Structure 1
């Protein structure tokens, strides 16, 4: 008899077929002797829309809400371009899958969708919608290499064992549908003027928005304070100098300048004594293996133009090509059962590296630890070495590969020296502290060429007398906190704000918070949430910073269902889904909680005073052409982030970004008038530029194509030079 294997995507089906040596490809599936391998395209089925339950709900009316179906139903997913129509590709593939399952020679079905909540829902909605009586099994894999596929098919589980995972996935899907449909509808009716666009409300969307809003307000309300520091240069009897900072009661920042002025005056003609000296040898362990959030944070903070959504897409591509393990994981360590596999992978990866002889495999608790793995192990390379990668894939693959190899390199070590110096003057109560650091063993830092700055202190002895050769009193101003970036936002979402003061992503507290299931969203959905916040206009980006828009601010300040902004509330909901997965709670209890919450929330919104926080204009904007593209001759138009070529879909790269760094360095942003003049004359006079020293000046700017590529760079000419040209 034959088994039908259903994978989540065509590329994964091809991996399974290759592992089984099935060459016979047909329309929508591969057919072999014992297995037929077919595929979905992600979700082939989606939940009914409101109007599918009741045609009278097609037009939103306040009296129609709350709306909670007695039975949730599924339909073929909609065409992305024509929401009212079925996706014909999905319809055809579904028909093929059902035909295969119903064949007389088929006795079982194997779901090979991703081993997570979403994957379980994708497979089970397809299989159980058919109401088949044939035996259903589950293939649970963390990677799609041939070895793992063959091994996995020998260790299938009955799909009934996955019921808790399905319940968690269904609970998440239904809860988000009920909250999203009801609250988006009533909020749009209540707080928005004009139609054609909705005011998006979501269980994960709003708390994420609130994190960004809170940081923006913190920066806005920040009051800078002056503080002062006193540094003194000491000289040993051997003529070596070192610097110490004045500390009193463990404080080196002083708000009162007079205190330090007095100390500074008292330093004249004094000597000092070395009161204490400590030299410690310290170990620096490599950062843990990547989970998805840490990988996204690492890449988005290191490389310009990357978003967490893009990192996930590239990682997913590498996973489907069999080069890395499952990327949507929260764990930063590996299961202990993976020791032999990891050794094999390391052996493949290290060959030919300049530090190959320093790479030694060992079963380390820091790498292999069952108690710190939740569902999926950390992301690692597989034993298959990529033959060719795109530029983006190269960046993500090498980050994962390097992080894996680091675990088996020597631990880096440095020597830390602390000297405490006491000035020999009765009225100087405080001490001067000096810190030095010297890297002794580079170890794993070699892999990414992480440079350590050495601060070398001279050799001194306790009770040694030193002289004072210089002192400096400096003034400083406290700085506001920084805007959130995707990296810092992902950290707060991952831990639901717990341990958010910790910079160290490898701390035990951070890991415990991540593995508790108490979070905002899941590794798979956080990138999508950040992207959606941008798409619906609640946040915007400035370089790498995430900032609330006016609409985002108004929503936080006006929307009356405050629980949806509360990290504790959202964390508890995510924890409940986690508990359903672990069989500590049932689906029905959770859904009843969601239905009651939604009913109360709708009532709260209806009773709120009418306030318009968003006005949608239905007038079609006429697109103004600012001039001809210097590369291809098409029109230059204004977009949300820049002034670019209307021929961009065909590959034209001409653009002047609104947050252009060169102009920003002179405190200017490009304007429509400036771009028009530049395109017409090839040069534009820009007034009120600011120099590095803060002086204002006027200059001519050109935007010229680089000789070696299709990009453009600014050329600045001072007025005097231009005036000379004119006179000549």
Structure 2
């Protein structure tokens, strides 16, 4: 008999088909011996809108809220062009999946969507909508290499065993719908004048906004303080010099310079002596393997123009191309069962490196530790080496590969010397401290290409006298805290604001217990959404609140939404549902109760205008006649399309057109006008596969055999 495998995306379906050596591709699926592999496009189904439950909800009216349906229902996802219509691609693919599962020769279904909350409900909602009585299994993989796919298919489990993960995913989805629909609607009615983009209020959006707001206020209210330091240069008998800073009771910063001026006078006529010398060899371990937050923080802080959302999208692409393991992980260690496979990957990765001999596999507890892994291990490369990837993918891949290799290189070692110099005077209570640092073993740092700044102190003995060559009192100011970057914001979201040492076991346990803001998979999207809706903006790499963002924080009376602890508790409850320590029924009652209270609190507040939307009607520019039906072509958000689309005309030139994108171009109004008027457009600055610039004449012509249009290229003499 045959089994139908449902992958989350077409690219993953192809990976499974390749692993099974299935070449036969049909419309919407691959078919081979014993297996049919089909796919979703992420979520094919979405929750009903409020108006689908009750037609009165089509218009927002204060008296209709709070609104919570008795039973949640799903529908085919809406078309991106018009939310009142079903997405035709989703309808088609759902019909294909349904017909495949219902075939007489099919005896079972395997959900092969990503092994996380979202992946679980993507597969389950599709399978549930088909109402099949056939057995449903689950394929759980951390990577899509041939070896892992084949091994995974031999150890599939019954999908019903994944019910706790499904319950957590569904609970998260329903909770965000209840809070988002109700509070966004009521806040918009209460605080927005005019129709336009709603005043977004969300479970994860609000506390994240508050983190940025709090830092902005901290910087604004900061009052700098003056402090003073005393530095000196000492000279040994053989003429070698070294610097030291004056410390008293363990402190080198002084609020007043009076005591330091008194010391200065004594230094004019005195000499010093080395009262203590400590030399220590210290080890410097490499940073831990990347989890998603670590990878996003590293890339966004090191490279210009990167956002955490872009890092996630790039890492996801590498994962789907089989080059790295699952990226949406919170773990910085590997499962102990992966030792053999990791050794195999290491052998592939180290080949040809100038320091290949220094890279040796070790089953260190620092790398392999089950107690530090939750669902997914840390991100590492697979044994599949990329031959051709984009520049962005190469940058992220290299970071992951180097972090992996570092774990198996010699530990960096340095020698630290601490000299304590005292002055021959009983009037001076303190001492001067000097620190030297010399690299002994470069080790894993060779992969970072950064040399340690060495400070070499002279060879002196304890009790040896030294001359005071020079001294100086310097004035300094305390500096305000720095504005948040994506790296610092992600770290706070990951630990829910708990200030814990990076090396602390407690930090790892706090993350693994589910006490956080959002999940590794959703945090990047939260930051992006805050920017898109106008609550925050970027100042270079820094994140700051806009005026609207500030007013939302200062006005919205539902203070729990801004509380990190409250949000962390919600995420913890979802985690506990997954671990079967808490029921989804209890969780939803908690969310409903909170929403009722929050909505009524909002309603009782005084109405003020936080956001004014000007309802000036924009004149729609007609760019030319539609080559299909003769109506006007106009610019939309995602493409240049026919104004007669409501009557069924499908002519469109998409702004993200793949043919043009391959040559690093997007269609412009000028290009579209020329195509519609002359049937062709002269386009400059196209980029070839080899990266060379060229000019060409492009045509966009209808295929003789079907309704689709195809690009054609010509070169002028």
Could you tell me the TM-score, scaled by structure 1's length?
A: 0.85
List 4+ stretches of structure 1 deviating above 6 A: 621-624, 647-650
Query: In the aligned structure 1, how far is the partner of 2:385 from the partner of 2:46?
Result: 37
* Deviation by residue 1:518-542 (Cα, 9 ceiling, x = unmatched): 0000000000000000000000001
- State how many pairs are aligned: 631
Structure 2 matches for 1:470-485, cutoff 5 A? 470-485=470-485
- TM-superposed CA distance for 1:425, in Å, is 1.1
The answer as to 2:86 corresponding to 1:86 is yes
Asked whether the 8 Å contact 1:287–1:506 carries over to 2, the reply is no
The answer as to 2:506 corresponding to 1:537 is no
Structure 2 matches for 1:295-694, cutoff 5 A? 295-499=295-499, 502=501, 505-620=502-617
Query: In the aligned structure 1, how far is the partner of 2:228 from the partner of 2:578?
Result: 55
The answer as to 2:76 corresponding to 1:76 is yes
Query: In the aligned structure 1, how far is the partner of 2:426 from the partner of 2:187?
Result: 69
- TM-superposed CA distance for 1:605, in Å, is 0.2
Structure 2 matches for 1:125-274, cutoff 5 A? 125-274=125-274
Query: In the aligned structure 1, how far is the partner of 2:507 from the partner of 2:299?
Result: 20
Q: Give the 3-state SS of the residue equivalent to 1:329 in structure 2.
A: coil
| Structure-2 residue corresponding to 1:288 | 288
Query: In the aligned structure 1, how far is the partner of 2:64 from the partner of 2:344?
Result: 60
Query: In the aligned structure 2, how far is the partner of 1:622 from the partner of 1:449?
Result: 56
* Deviation by residue 1:609-639 (Cα, 9 ceiling, x = unmatched): 1111111112257899xxxxxxxxxxxxxxx
Query: In the aligned structure 2, how far is the partner of 1:65 from the partner of 1:460?
Result: 79
* Deviation by residue 1:676-706 (Cα, 9 ceiling, x = unmatched): xxxxxxxxxxxxxxxxxxxxxxxxxxxxxxx
Q: Give the 3-state SS of the residue equivalent to 1:440 in structure 2.
A: strand
Query: In the aligned structure 2, how far is the partner of 1:197 from the partner of 1:449?
Result: 47
- TM-superposed CA distance for 1:226, in Å, is 0.8
Larger deviation: 336-345 or 272-281?
272-281
Query: In the aligned structure 2, how far is the partner of 1:38 from the partner of 1:538?
Result: 40
Asked whether the 8 Å contact 1:19–1:150 carries over to 2, the reply is yes
Computed over aligned residues only, the root mean square deviation of the Cα atoms, in angstroms, reads 1.7
Query: In the aligned structure 1, how far is the partner of 2:692 from the partner of 2:99?
Result: 53
Query: In the aligned structure 2, how far is the partner of 1:172 from the partner of 1:84?
Result: 25
Q: Give the 3-state SS of the residue equivalent to 2:357 in structure 1.
A: helix
Q: Give the 3-state SS of the residue equivalent to 2:312 in structure 1.
A: helix
- TM-superposed CA distance for 1:462, in Å, is 1.1
- TM-superposed CA distance for 1:31, in Å, is 0.5
Q: Give the 3-state SS of the residue equivalent to 1:4 in structure 2.
A: strand
Asked whether the 8 Å contact 1:228–1:254 carries over to 2, the reply is yes
Query: In the aligned structure 2, how far is the partner of 1:193 from the partner of 1:451?
Result: 57
- TM-superposed CA distance for 1:460, in Å, is 1.2
Structure 2 matches for 1:42-81, cutoff 5 A? 42-81=42-81
- TM-superposed CA distance for 1:510, in Å, is 2.6
- TM-superposed CA distance for 1:196, in Å, is 2.0
Query: In the aligned structure 1, how far is the partner of 2:372 from the partner of 2:4?
Result: 35
Query: In the aligned structure 2, how far is the partner of 1:424 from the partner of 1:121?
Result: 75
- TM-superposed CA distance for 1:451, in Å, is 1.6
- TM-superposed CA distance for 1:56, in Å, is 1.1
Query: In the aligned structure 1, how far is the partner of 2:373 from the partner of 2:547?
Result: 41
- TM-superposed CA distance for 1:648, in Å, is 12
Asked whether the 8 Å contact 1:6–1:111 carries over to 2, the reply is yes
- TM-superposed CA distance for 1:709, in Å, is 10
Q: Any stretches of 5+ residues in structure 2 without a counterpart?
A: 622-654, 667-690, 694-717
* Deviation by residue 1:440-487 (Cα, 9 ceiling, x = unmatched): 100000012122000111111111111101001111111100000000
Query: In the aligned structure 1, how far is the partner of 2:239 from the partner of 2:90?
Result: 80
Query: In the aligned structure 2, how far is the partner of 1:619 from the partner of 1:227?
Result: 56
* Deviation by residue 1:98-156 (Cα, 9 ceiling, x = unmatched): 00000011000000000000000000000011111100000000000000000000000
Q: Any stretches of 5+ residues in structure 1 without a counterpart?
A: 625-646, 654-707, 711-728
Query: In the aligned structure 2, how far is the partner of 1:391 from the partner of 1:509?
Result: 37
Question: For residues 652 and 370 of structure 1, do their structure 2 counterparts lie closer, same or farther at Cα, with a shift above 3 Å needed?
Answer: closer
Query: In the aligned structure 2, how far is the partner of 1:526 from the partner of 1:579?
Result: 20
Structure 2 matches for 1:5-44, cutoff 5 A? 5-44=5-44
Q: Give the 3-state SS of the residue equivalent to 1:468 in structure 2.
A: strand
Q: Give the 3-state SS of the residue equivalent to 1:345 in structure 2.
A: helix
Q: Give the 3-state SS of the residue equivalent to 1:128 in structure 2.
A: helix
Query: In the aligned structure 1, how far is the partner of 2:463 from the partner of 2:525?
Result: 61
- TM-superposed CA distance for 1:67, in Å, is 0.5
- TM-superposed CA distance for 1:499, in Å, is 2.2
Query: In the aligned structure 1, how far is the partner of 2:129 from the partner of 2:584?
Result: 19
- TM-superposed CA distance for 1:238, in Å, is 1.6
Query: In the aligned structure 2, how far is the partner of 1:312 from the partner of 1:397?
Result: 12
